[in-house]
Chain A
Amino acid sequence: MTSPTEVFAYQFMQYALLAALITGVAAPALGTYLVQRRLALIGDGLGHVALTGVGAALLTAGSPVLFAMVAAAAGAVLVELVRQRGRTSGDVALAVMFYGGIAGGVFLTARSPESTTGLTGFLFGSPLTVSAGDLAVMAALGAAVVAVAVGLRPWLFAVGHDEEFARAAGLPVRALNLLTAVATAVTVTVAMRAVGLLLVSALMVVPVATAQLLTRSFRATQHLAMAIGVVAAGTGIWVSGAFDTAPGATIVLLAIAAFAATAVGTAARRRARDRSPGARPVGSPPAAVSR
């Protein structure tokens, strides 16, 4: 087995590690709000939409990050508008947009000189090809996402938890919802290089799902999810370097393995506590309500 010192002796591996760590901390920080709002799959849809931006960038020799961000942000704002309308056809509208995004990306890329081979790196991630310039952009965007997700936690929590109350309290609900949507788009763009557009959503959702098995508060869920994201991303890059596996997929599989192990562990602990007499297990229904 190759030790971390050997793996990270190369500069491209150091860049890959940094890119993955930025993604690992930013994606779950924002993803906590998506899981709270039961919009866990929205990141996946926006990843599809971002692909059209990537296709346009490949065709015009523009910046994939910039184009992807613009496409994903436009998609995110549209999603938010559809959600605010609360239309029953919203589900179908989202499907049309998401598949339109992926088809548009493939269509545009096929017209470009790089052809579809250039697309694979964006679909499944290519952290080993991250440049110093890419890294600077990722760090700036990732810092912005974390600043919003952590700094505005009470506000974003309140709007996601009870929008009606938030409106009555005079919070800028629409602005906060749009901010969440745009921050999701930015997160998709940040994660694009590390894990790829098709796997972005996994890092937004899986660490949060794992964390909430262990936590009692929203704040602790967000913090633990960020820690899990960082560990999965860092370990994933090392494993991919040591065993020559696909980095994006390795990171996501590690995150899912952590989730599975945690789920089994907490279930076993609960069963053990159920068997011990006299103890009321956490999560059991409260004492009977008198009517």
Chain B
Amino acid sequence: MRVTVPVVHLSEAVAGYGDRPVLHGISLTVVPGEVVAILGDNGSGKSTLVSAALGLIPLRSGRAALFGVPAARFRQRHRIGFVPQRVGAAGGVPATVGEVVAAGRLARRRPFRPARQDDRRAVAAALAAVGLTDRERDPVATLSGGQQQRVLIARALAGEPDLLVLDEPTSGVDAASQAAFATTLRGYVARGGTVVLVAHELGPLEPLVDRAVVLHAGRVRHDGAVPRPVGHHADPGHDHVHPHAPLRAGRLWNGGVQP
């Protein structure tokens, strides 16, 4: 019998910020090759769960492990490609798409050393994977919101990670970018990658998802098949794209899943 080391493992994890606990005992296991969606309304603890699983915030109690190593002590950070929730990819000083994506290679680079052939090749491959090869030399600020989100995904892919963690990657993203994003993810999964995806709504990503974990008030409410949308969300004409409607999304998951 082959024992598979889970890529992500949380058991009875309690975590939060300051005096306010957000996660009240979460257990979750993601095995290699799985595509797991974390769903739930605003404030249900989705982003906190990601931070705890990646070892970015300490646990009050319980355990978090990455590739079998306690998350806080996990050093092979290049194995993780993280796409944080952000409004855009632009900063206070102009930066090109290529410069932002190249930051994804730093987990594999030594300080004060120039980028090597491998680094440049990985950046080019990541840009190709998100369909932005021709924008490499353009300032990030001149791209649309959806394209900027794809830049951040390319940055995560540039490190050639085994695990891709995406926090709300499709919120506020136009339909064309969502479709491009689904294609990117499909390619990554086909090459054996593992994905943890935080979302309000899956939209065109739904066929890719193996399993959905629904959070409610810091607890796991559902862990299994992707819940079937109800109400007008089930309407075939509904396009599942309304980035600024968290409350409606909340009703969807609360209404669609009863434990």
Chain A residues with CB under 8 Å of chain B are 32, 35-38, 151-152, 154-155, 157-158, 160-162, 164-171, 208, 212, 215-219, 221, 282-283, 286-287, 289-291
Q: Is the CB of A218 within 8 A of B94?
A: yes
Q: Is the CB of B54 within 8 A of A291?
A: no
Minimum C-beta distance from A201 to chain B (A):
15
**B143 partner residues in chain A, CB cutoff 8 A:** 286
Q: Which of B102, B106, B141, B176 contacts A171 (CB 8 A)?
A: B106
Minimum C-beta distance from B74 to chain A (A):
8
Q: Which of B77, B78, B112, B174 contacts A291 (CB 8 A)?
A: B174
Q: Is the CB of B100 within 8 A of A289?
A: no
| Complex CA–CA separation, A115 to B139 (angstroms) | 52
Q: Is the CB of B107 within 8 A of A169?
A: yes
**B112 partner residues in chain A, CB cutoff 8 A:** 151-152
Minimum C-beta distance from B101 to chain A (A):
11
Q: Which of A152, A157, A167, A212 contacts B99 (CB 8 A)?
A: A157
**A151 partner residues in chain B, CB cutoff 8 A:** 111-112
**A161 partner residues in chain B, CB cutoff 8 A:** 91, 95, 100, 103
B142 within 8 Å of A (CB atoms): yes
Q: Is the CB of B139 within 8 A of A216?
A: yes
Instruction: Give the segment of B34-42, B80-88, B194-202, B222-230 that binds chain A.
Output: B80-88
Q: Which of B84, B92, B102, B138 contacts A38 (CB 8 A)?
A: B92
Listed from nearest, the 7 A-B pairs whose CB atoms lie closest are A170-B77, A168-B82, A158-B103, A286-B144, A218-B95, A289-B174, A36-B93
**A158 partner residues in chain B, CB cutoff 8 A:** 103, 106
B45 within 8 Å of A (CB atoms): no
Q: Is the CB of A37 within 8 A of B99?
A: no
Chain B residues with CB under 8 Å of chain A are 54, 56, 75, 77-78, 80, 82, 84, 86, 91-96, 98-100, 102-104, 106-107, 109, 111-112, 115, 137-139, 141-147, 152, 155, 159, 165, 174-176, 241-243
Q: Is the CB of A168 within 8 A of B137?
A: no
| Complex CA–CA separation, A111 to B178 (angstroms) | 68
Q: Is the CB of A35 within 8 A of B84?
A: no
**B77 partner residues in chain A, CB cutoff 8 A:** 168-170
Minimum C-beta distance from B155 to chain A (A):
7
**B75 partner residues in chain A, CB cutoff 8 A:** 170
| Complex CA–CA separation, A38 to B242 (angstroms) | 32
**B165 partner residues in chain A, CB cutoff 8 A:** 168
Minimum C-beta distance from B124 to chain A (A):
16
With A164-B84, A221-B93, A289-B146 already in contact, the answer to whether A169 and B159 are too (CB < 8 A) is yes
Number of A-B contacts (CB under 8 A): 110
Of B56, B94, B111, B144, most A-chain CB atoms within 10 Å: B94
Of B93, B103, B137, most A-chain CB atoms within 10 Å: B93
Minimum C-beta distance from B157 to chain A (A):
13
**B174 partner residues in chain A, CB cutoff 8 A:** 289-291
Q: Is the CB of A290 within 8 A of B175?
A: yes
Q: Which of A155, A168, A171, A283 contacts B142 (CB 8 A)?
A: A283
Q: Which of B86, B99, B111, B152 contacts A218 (CB 8 A)?
A: B99
10 additional A-B pairs beyond A38-B92, A286-B147, A289-B174, beta carbons within 8 Å, are A35-B92, A37-B92, A157-B103, A161-B95, A161-B103, A164-B82, A165-B152, A168-B82, A286-B143, A287-B144
Q: Is the CB of A167 within 8 A of B145?
A: no
**B86 partner residues in chain A, CB cutoff 8 A:** 162
Minimum C-beta distance from A169 to chain B (A):
4
With A152-B111, A290-B176 already in contact, the answer to whether A216 and B138 are too (CB < 8 A) is yes
With A167-B56, A168-B56, A290-B174 already in contact, the answer to whether A217 and B95 are too (CB < 8 A) is yes
Q: Is the CB of A216 within 8 A of B111?
A: no
| Complex CA–CA separation, A26 to B253 (angstroms) | 55
| Complex CA–CA separation, A218 to B93 (angstroms) | 6
| Complex CA–CA separation, A167 to B58 (angstroms) | 13
Q: Is the CB of B243 within 8 A of A291?
A: yes
Minimum C-beta distance from B183 to chain A (A):
17
Q: Is the CB of A165 within 8 A of B139?
A: no
Minimum C-beta distance from A219 to chain B (A):
7
**A165 partner residues in chain B, CB cutoff 8 A:** 82, 84, 103, 152, 155
**B142 partner residues in chain A, CB cutoff 8 A:** 282-283, 286
- Closest residue of chain B to A151, judged by CB? B112
- Closest residue of chain A to B175, judged by CB? A290
**A166 partner residues in chain B, CB cutoff 8 A:** 103, 106
**B56 partner residues in chain A, CB cutoff 8 A:** 164, 167-168
